[in-house]
Amino acid sequence: MNVLVSGSTGLVGSTISTVLAREGHRVVRLTRSGGAEDYVIQWDPSVGTVNAARLEGIDAVVHLAGESVQGRWTSDKKARIRDSRVQGTRLLAEALAKLSVPPRVMISASATGYYGDRGNERLHEDSGPGSNFLAGVCREWESATDPVREVGVRVVCPRFGLVLSTEGGALAATLPLFKLGGGGKIGNGRQYWPWVAIADVVGATLHALMMNSLEGPVNVVAPDPPTNAEYTKILGRVLNRPTILSLPAPAARIALGQLADELLLASQRVEPAKLKESGYMFRYPKLEGTLRHLLGR
């Protein structure tokens, strides 16, 4: 297949692009920088431009582009988080919908932030959205795919949990602290943290590309998410380091602002109902085994 990938330089996008190419697919990258190569297509979602003519012949799309949520959320940062996802997705969906032959499938990223802070509630794809900033972004992000869905393209919105990899993301960022014995739970530690190994992010994405029965939102998280306290304890055990230096919620808010409440302290007990129903087999379903594999322990 000819597969268009946006966000191809990020942690998830670069890994997916490599695996797609290894399996014999032709990867076409959607980038701001563009280039003369036939495997690069230029766009700029901030000004609403995309080289639509070059999109002809694309069989499938994996759309992952978006401003990082890391960093303090100033009003400008929040606008970039929202606009890069919502405006970018709508621009691409509208361009694809106008093609003489649209792609057969579009995988358009979303996140478990859709559910907001939900305590102990078990969350599946048909659970309603939360009411905080990230929930609103995810709601609009998924709706921005409507133009291509309306012309008959199968659209899948994978709601990714915390992606575990030593190459980037939260695990890589916190490893030095945990290795020094300075890791610990955040707040009371009772908040559920949905996570997924990078290998299963790739596996679930490829599964969604090929599985015609999958459509709409799909939770891409490992089964039975742990609480933050459980996650912390397991990581400490794998590293053979103590995890007694907890970070109180007020301190997290002082350090990180709104990000602390919506990413670190929010509880999302998310289950991968659709993936399990479709027959997807997780390579790394258990947290301790995943961490031992990633960290060589």
The domain that holds 210 is classified in CATH as 3.40.50.720
Per the structure, the count of domains in the chain is: 1
CA distance 220 to 287: 15
| Runs of H (alpha helix) within 69-116 | 75-97
Phi, psi angles (nearest 5°) of residue 216: 80, -155
Q: Write the DSSP symbol of residue 197.
A: E
Reading the block at residue 163, the tokens are 């992606």
pLDDT tens digits, one per residue of 102-145: 999 999 999 999 999 999 999 999 999 999 999 999 999 999 99
Where b means 16+ CB within 10 Å and e means fewer, 98-125 reads: ebeebbebbbbbbbbbbbbbbeeeebeb
Q: Distance of CA 11 to CAs 41, 64, 79, 109, 170, Å?
A: 20, 10, 22, 13, 11
- Name the pairing type of β-strands 49-50 and 40-44: antiparallel
Q: CB of 82 within 8 A of CB of 75?
A: no
Instruction: Answer yes or no: is 118 within a domain.
Output: yes
Instruction: Answer yes or no: is 61 within a domain.
Output: yes
Instruction: Answer yes or no: is 90 within a domain.
Output: yes
Q: CB of 87 within 8 A of CB of 141?
A: no
Cβ neighbours of residue 277 under 8 Å, at least 6 residues apart? none
CA distance 216 to 36: 35
Instruction: Answer yes or no: is 78 within a domain.
Output: yes
Instruction: Answer yes or no: is 42 within a domain.
Output: yes
pLDDT tens digits, one per residue of 158-185: 999 999 999 988 899 899 999 999 999 9
CA distance 171 to 297: 15
Instruction: Answer yes or no: is 26 within a domain.
Output: yes
Dihedral angle over CA of 71, 120, 290, 9, nearest 10: -30
Residue type, 226: P
Task: Tell me which residues of the chain have a pLDDT lower than 70.
Answer: 34-36
pLDDT at 36: 59
Q: Write the DSSP symbol of residue 113.
A: G
User: SS3 for 208?
Assistant: helix
Q: Which helix (H) or strand (E) holds 4?
A: strand 2-6
Q: Distance of CA 295 to CAs 25, 89, 223, 235, 288, Å?
A: 30, 35, 21, 10, 10
Q: Write the DSSP symbol of residue 227.
A: B
Per the listing, tokens 């709409």 go with 216
Instruction: Answer yes or no: is 13 within a domain.
Output: yes
User: SS3 for 26?
Assistant: strand
Q: Which helix (H) or strand (E) holds 62?
A: strand 60-63
Question: What pTM value is reported for the model?
Answer: 0.95
Q: Which domain holds residue 156?
A: 2-163+194-222+269-286
Instruction: Answer yes or no: is 74 within a domain.
Output: yes
| Runs of H (alpha helix) within 57-197 | 75-97, 133-143, 146-149, 169-179
